[in-house]
Structure 1
């Protein structure tokens, strides 16, 4: 069974980003995966590292601030080892990931590409494309996706499960490491 971890980089638990990541996880669960959600705002770094290591796939979620993902998510990625230059772990190597960003309006949707580039280029993660971006119009209220947004998030979750299986099943894909 594929284990999918949702990582939410919002400053408060239970916000719009959590709802969006939960929607992706619901789609992954419907596709047969086991899922868990981790909010960085209340998590211990050691617990996050262990959860990343145990996951087959990760959904990285963040609100967009100043046209990029949150400082909490940046901090996690900066602490995450890549198995280079004497590092002893590479918890994202050989994994699939999905990106979920949320914002007040559609004007910040290009931030999805920034997160994708870091995951794919710096960590050699196989990232599901396109990334998911939801603005306020994608919600009924702070914690409830609209029907269309929920269906889109679920489709991303199902696709992530398929991508994780493809990466796990390919020696070549799972062996890729960062270039630099």
Structure 2
């Protein structure tokens, strides 16, 4: 990755704590080991976003404006979502509906030609294809370049820190979540590093970054 690049983790869960956030942040930790890489996290649970209604980018205020600014200012992304009804979270879809594409809403297109790593979490393995059926096409629409491999994690890949005495989990106990499966943890780390490497390759590319969305 070129010097002074920002990798933004976007957590599409509105739960706190969140297994999705744990997975995304694990990938970011590995990415941050590379020289010149700064990582930041945009957690939708921390933002009260308005509903997308087609307004221009400069018309948003408050939390919504802050979330969109973080996306516009970043260079590459690791995006994670919980899977509900076989699809990404409604909160994340709403955010995507407000991200400009270089036309109509604003003259900036933050996802275009950007490197994006994809993560999803679900209760079971049943919806692992949602990454390729739901998330990846959205980034194709934006003209982004997604890392070829992705990470899907289930409840069994995490352990609750409820007995640790700090924080609060979804069941109301103490703690949050940690990755409990070593293979998954390494795959998440590889995803973070792969996103860094893809961003660096795109920075040196010519034709690869010349296409963009056709319409």
Same fold (TM over 0.5): yes
CA distance in 2 between partners of 1:175 and 1:76 (Å): 26
User: Can you list the C-alpha shifts for 1:37-61, whole angstroms capped at 9, x where unaligned?
Assistant: 1101222121122111221111111
- Contact in 2 for aligned 1:56/1:95 (Cα 8 Å): yes
User: How far apart are the structure 1 equivalents of 2:40 and 2:105?
Assistant: 30
Among 10, 15, 21, the alignment partner of 1:7 is: 10
Corresponding residue for residue 19 of structure 2: 16
Query: What secondary structure, in the 3-state scheme, does the structure 2 residue paired with 1:134 have?
Result: strand
User: RMSD of the TM alignment (CA)?
Assistant: 1.4
Tell me, yes or no, if structure 1 residue 54 matches structure 2 residue 73.
yes
2:202 paired with 1:167: yes
What's 2:32 paired with? 29
Q: Which runs of 5+ in 1 are unaligned?
A: none
Q: Tell me the CA shift for residue 86 of structure 1.
A: 6.4
C-alpha separation in 2, matches of 1:85 and 1:21: 31
Matched with 2:45 is 41
Quote the residue 1:145 is aligned against. 179
Aligned residues: 179
Normalised to the residue count of structure 1, the TM-score between the two structures is 0.93
**Distance across 2 between alignment mates of 1:67 and 1:77:** 18
TM-score (norm 2): 0.79
Relative distance call for 1:90 and 1:159 in structure 2 (3 A) is same
Q: 2:101 aligns with which of 74, 77, 82?
A: 82
CA distance in 2, matches of 1:76, 1:26: 24
Shift of 1:98: 0.8
Gap runs ≥5 in structure 2 = 48-62, 161-175
8 A Cα contact 1:94 1:168, kept in partner = no
Q: CA deviation at 1:152?
A: 1.0
* Larger-gyration structure (1/2): 2
Looking at structure 1, the residues matched to 143 and 153 of structure 2 have their Cα atoms a distance apart, in angstroms, of: 25
Greater helix fraction, Structure 1 or Structure 2? 1
